[in-house]
Amino acid sequence: MDRMTLSIDGQIVAAEKGVTVLEAALENGIYVPNLCYHSDLKPVGVCRLCIVEIKGRGLAPACMTPAEEGMVVKTETSDIRNIRRTAAELLILNHHADCLSCTKNTKCRLQEVANYLGIDEKRLKRLRTPQRNLAIDSSNPFFDRDMNRCILCGICIRTCDNINGAGAIDFVFRGYNTTVGTFQDKPLLESNCESCGECLVRCPVGALSPKTSQVPAREVKTVCPYCGCGCSIYLGVRGDKVVSSRGDAEGPANHGRLCVKGRFGIEFVNHAERLTSPLIRKDGQFVKASWDEALNLVATKLAGYKGDQFAAVSSAKCTNEDNYVFQKFARALMGTNNIDHCARL
Amino acid sequence: MSFEAARQQATKEWKELQSGAVPLVYIGTATCGRSAGALRLLDAVRAELDKRKAAAQIVEVGCLGMCYAEPLVTVRKPNGTAVCYGNVTKDRAAEFVENCIVGDKPPADLVLGSIGEKSVPGVPDLFSIPALRPQVRRILRNCGSIDATNMNHYLAHGGYTGFARALQAGREKVIAELRDSGLRGRGGAGFPTWRKWQFCIDAKGDRKYIICNADEGDPGAFMNRSLLEGDPHVVLEGLLIAGFTIGASEGYIYCRAEYPLALERLRTAFGQMEKYGLLGDNILDSGFSFHVKIKEGAGAFVCGEETALIASIEGKRGMPRPRPPFPAVSGLWGKPTVINNVETLASVALILQNGAAWYAQAGTEKSRGTKTFALAGKVKCTGLIEVPFGIKLRDVVYGIGGGILNDKEFKAVQTGGPSGGCLPAAWLESPVDYESLAAAGSIVGSGGMVVMDEDNCMVDVARYFLDFTQKESCGECVPCRLGTKQMLDILKDITAGKGRPGDIELLLELAEGIKRGSLCGLGQTAPNPVLTTVKYFRSEYEAHIHEKKCPARVCKPLIHYRILTDKCKGCGLCLKNCPATAITGENKKIHVVDQSKCVKCGVCLEKCPRKFSAVECVPGAALQ
Ligand SMILES: Cc1cc2nc3c(=O)[nH]c(=O)nc-3n(C[C@H](O)[C@H](O)[C@H](O)COP(=O)(O)O)c2cc1C
Ligand code: SF4
Ligand code: SF4
Ligand code: FES
């Protein structure tokens, strides 16, 4: 890989060709305040916090500026500080800062920016506090949208557009009233949102928050049981209960992404109605049975059928190997090509 | 028919029109004329002519620019004299037909001036009256004198010879001509047009686009609308030249849907151009093909910003994106694109028609040529004007504008719309050009010019503009979305008597952060009205904040009305008209305003007879 060197705040750092100034700084452990940047997404340069000074060019958003060999960058000058402070103070003033009751507390990127810049209460007091209270959209069964906490970084919009491809949300209204909304500003549930939650995991603040969340004691790397995609996930466990699920960024099939089932549907594992042993109907009642007993019964009954009298429907929750064996059974043993699978429906 | 033959034919037709045996009546029916009743006048004149069985030929033309005197009518008699009349309202149609069209006894109050070489006794030359003398009409030369729906009229006035010249000379010569002319973009920023085109020529791309920016979102600006309505072909000729020069075979005109007449004129013009082989494939057998599409904007100010405009054409929400890359490198659909203002393109056509040397005769060294402005506010003669760069602000306000309405005191002139600034009397001697206005803290902008007098409160003016930019911000970037709102809230507080010590400094600090931090020109210039009013009228801010007084008597919470005991004669007119029943008093006795009930509408002041003048509006809230 081609490398280049540039100077950031007097340090000579190396970076891969093709990265932006912001990425070069962050990779080298130099924090530059940023909110609308996300490594999975194309930068848009709208939060204006990452403004840096580039020798010979003046001020520019670091997230939008390709790093170049020999570039001389300053991330801190009194000018930059003033611009950042104005933006950050206004953001904080307009953000419902109920940090202690927020799911993002301590993991919030606005807090990170505030910590870095140092916010002075006295300065905030000079400003006019907005009296805005937007309704929380809790229509989605898995997560809530509280636009009072939104900083309009647009990350959720770009995620929905470019990562999921659903395009369920966009900026709506103008000026100060601008917010993120659905077509005709309907509740999320009535939009073409697929509830994948990809936006939820990227929101830098607590504007998008899961309805239920328990902090796991430990995480176990596994493969999502829902379909044949083989998404790599980390299941969070407390005691012997699964309490959370998140995509594994290293997963070759999913690169950290998940769909609604893998992210929010994992509670079936500990569900009270989950079947854990075979049941056989006796006198109209289901009665628990051993696997040997159940398989013997099935074998006896199936012996009475042959060829196209029989059809096989298998499940996406089974492994590829299981499905392979099952179709072999249908074709070779039962003598039929009547084979189908739930993922085709 | 060859282009040359078409031109000759058009010239012949025009000459015939001018030397006809019946009076020729030009009625200005552009949007400004229509809002003053020009269409009703047109019907009335027609009916009146029919009634008298009098012969006359009526030509609908665009706007001459004298809004204060609309509806405007020019009558050319078979003897070659032509007189322009103003304020010809429908009720005076009969009289007008009788005395101005059929007869020769023009009423003095309607006459504005004569047009053309033949003078008319007792009538001044129109272009020597104070409102027109300082003007140099180049871009607007056809507005108000030709029928915009008749392409032959444009052809008869040198139309499309600039494009024909460009085709022959080739792109390098066109660029050289533009460079020599010194033309700078008229959309606001004043970037040299030739350089922008050269960037696009140098950019790699299998396709290139030219876009005409006819969004004209500044409140009160209507220069582009008037030009498109009065002489659409001059803009389209410029568009063709641009397309040919940068190698674009497709052009867009981004025009707001609120300009239905301009859109209609454009569509009519397209059809005519196609007929003459000036639009479509292989134009005038040159091998150059060009197609134009119209995109109707939905009226967002920010969509005038070039990157937002491109997003809007692409079907996205009109939001700017950071530059670089500039549109000349990566614009519409990612292809190299030039965006030029309506007036820039019209100037290009004129430069190619008449040459760079001719163009540079007007203007200053760095700001060449002429510029149109929408002159509005507290001057006697409002309207659309065209002046050479370098003209003194005083000559615009007091010469063309005729001075301040009711001879009040001049206070400020606001240039550049919401992105511009307010300049005080000290700047009246300053020339109007890009550099001088920038040095004063304002901008030339696209051409808004609003004059203010002693009755305008400068804090309130700043609040008005901030209210506009705040609402029109696309909401994308933090400093603009939240900063303009914060500044507006502070200004609202100040004008409501809730200003706090330190607010002025706070406004300046926010302004700095917004100007330097915002992503696009909207946010970067939004604080200008505040910065200039603080700079030049700081004492008004201080009076609002510290003394709780509005010196101009505009901000209601900071004024009160009172009845002067030594002047009140007890006529009771104020009492009768007060909508809040706040006035008490008996007949022939002194009346009193109950300050707790008063809604500060000022009706009492209006109604108190002049001879008494007993009601007074006083800065500062009343002492209860
Ligand atoms: C908020 C905003 C609004 C604008 N509105 C207009 C407009 O209405 N018309 C226009 O020609 N240019 C407008 N501009 C300037 C354009 O971005 C662009 O610079 C211009 O069209 C270039 O044309 P020119 O080189 O011919 O001046 C606007 C810019 C900003 C930042
Ligand atoms: S909801 Fe979150 S991700 Fe979406 S714009 Fe707001 S802060 Fe950004
Ligand atoms: S400066 Fe204002 S209008 Fe321009 S991008 Fe930012 S929010 Fe949008
Ligand atoms: S991170 Fe660069 S502008 Fe937001």
User: Cβ contact (<8 Å) for A173 and B475?
Assistant: yes
Helix (H, G, I), strand (E, B) or coil at B448: strand
For residues B64-85, give the mean pLDDT. 94
Mean pLDDT estimate for chain B: 95
Confidence (pLDDT) at A97: 82
pLDDT-derived band at B622 (thresholds 50, 70, 90) equals: confident
Q: φ, ψ for residue B559 (rounded to 5)?
A: -140, 165
A46 lines ligand 4 (CB under 6 A): yes
Ligand 2 atom, smallest distance to A145 CA: 1
- Are B278 and B240 in contact, with CB atoms under 8 Å apart? yes
Which ligand is located closest to the Cα atom of residue B302? 1
User: Cβ contact (<8 Å) for A174 and B322?
Assistant: no
Does the pLDDT value for residue A345 go beyond 80? no
The answer, yes or no, to whether ipTM is higher than 0.95 is no
- What's the gap in Å between B304 CA and the centre of ligand 1? 5
A204 lines ligand 4 (CB under 6 A): no
Does the pLDDT value for residue B593 go beyond 80? yes
Confidence (pLDDT) at B624: 58
Does the pLDDT value for residue A89 go beyond 90? yes
Cβ-based neighbour number of residue A84 at 10 Å: 25
Confidence (pLDDT) at A58: 95
pLDDT-derived band at B446 (thresholds 50, 70, 90) equals: confident
Does the pLDDT value for residue B480 go beyond 80? yes
Q: What is the pLDDT of residues B159-205, one digit of tens each?
A: 999 999 999 999 999 999 999 999 999 998 899 999 999 999 999 99
Enumerate the β-bridge partners of residue A24.
none
- Which residues does A88 contact at the CB level (< 8 Å), separation at least 6? A33, A49, A113, A114, A117, A119
Confidence (pLDDT) at A227: 81
Distance from the Cα of B311 to chain A's closest Cα (Å) equals 14
Domain ranges of chain B: 14-128, 160-359, 370-453, 458-547, 556-619
- Architecture of the domain spanning B14-128: 3-Layer(aba) Sandwich (3.40)
Instruction: Report residue A128 CA to chain centroid gap.
Output: 35
Angle at B405 between CA B404 and CA B410, to 5 degrees: 30
Does the pLDDT value for residue B2 go beyond 90? no
User: Cβ contact (<8 Å) for A177 and B483?
Assistant: no
Euclidean distance between CA atoms B54 and B51, whole angstroms:
8
- Are A150 and A180 in contact, with CB atoms under 8 Å apart? yes
Using alpha carbons, select from A198, A152, A192, A242 the residue that is nearest to residue B481. Answer: A152
- What's the gap in Å between A37 CA and the centre of ligand 4? 5
Confidence (pLDDT) at A226: 85
Ligand 1 atom, smallest distance to B191 CA: 25
- The CATH class, in words, for B160-359 is alpha beta
Using alpha carbons, select from A49, A38, A60 the residue that is nearest to residue A158. Answer: A38
The residue type found at A187 is P
Distance from the Cα of B499 to chain A's closest Cα (Å) equals 11
A216, HSE (Cβ side, Cα atoms, 13 Å)? 14
The CATH number for B370-453, chosen from 2.60.40.10, 1.20.120.530, 3.90.1150.10, 3.10.20.600, is 3.10.20.600
Q: Does A150 touch chain B (CB under 8 A)?
A: no
Cβ-based neighbour number of residue A206 at 10 Å: 25
Distance from the Cα of A126 to chain B's closest Cα (Å) equals 8
Euclidean distance between CA atoms A139 and A168, whole angstroms:
14
A160 lines ligand 2 (CB under 6 A): no
Euclidean distance between CA atoms B62 and B30, whole angstroms:
5
User: Cβ contact (<8 Å) for A175 and B481?
Assistant: yes
Does the pLDDT value for residue A343 go beyond 90? no
Express as a percent the part of chain B with pLDDT over 90.
95
Express as a percent the part of chain A with pLDDT over 90.
88
Q: Which residues of B touch A177 (CB under 8 A)?
A: 475
Q: Please tell me which residue of chain A has the smallest CA distance to B507.
A: A127
**Residue B321 is nearest to which of A44, A48, A127, comparing CB atoms?**
A44
Residue B556 in tokens: 């209601």
The residue type found at A130 is P
Tell me the fold of B556-619.
Alpha-Beta Plaits (3.30.70)
Confidence (pLDDT) at B235: 98
Domain annotation for chain A: domains and CATH numbers = 3-126 (3.10.20.740), 143-210 (3.30.70.20), 224-270 (2.20.25.90), 279-341 (no CATH)
pLDDT-derived band at B135 (thresholds 50, 70, 90) equals: very high
Q: Could you tell me how many residues make up chain B?
A: 624
pLDDT-derived band at A231 (thresholds 50, 70, 90) equals: very high
Using alpha carbons, select from B138, B155, B297, B284 the residue that is nearest to residue B217. Answer: B297
- Binding-face residues of A in 311-340 toward B, CB within 8 A: none
For residues B500-510, give the mean pLDDT. 97
Q: What is the pLDDT of residues B560-585, one digit of tens each?
A: 999 999 999 999 999 999 999 999 99
Of all protein residues, the one whose alpha carbon is nearest to atom 7 of ligand 2 is A150
Question: Is the backbone peptide bond immediately before B431 cis, with ω within 30 degrees of 0?
Answer: no
Residue ranges lining ligand 3, Cβ < 6 Å: B 302, 320, 473-477, 480-481, 518-520, 522-523
Confidence (pLDDT) at A1: 61
Confidence (pLDDT) at B323: 93
Does the pLDDT value for residue A344 go beyond 70? no
Q: Give the residue carrying structure tokens 């998140």.
A: A246
For residues A173-201, give the mean pLDDT. 96
Confidence (pLDDT) at B188: 86
Tell me the fold of B458-547.
de novo design (two linked rop proteins) (1.20.1440)
Instruction: Report residue B142 CA to chain centroid gap.
Output: 17
Distance from the Cα of A226 to chain B's closest Cα (Å) equals 36
Confidence (pLDDT) at A318: 81
For residues B117-143, give the mean pLDDT. 93
Q: Does A286 touch chain B (CB under 8 A)?
A: no
Whole-Å CA distances, B105 to B100, B108, B111, B345: 6, 9, 10, 43
Euclidean distance between CA atoms A142 and A264, whole angstroms:
7
Using alpha carbons, select from B555, B446, B420 the residue that is nearest to residue B493. Answer: B555
- Which residues does A281 contact at the CB level (< 8 Å), separation at least 6? A287
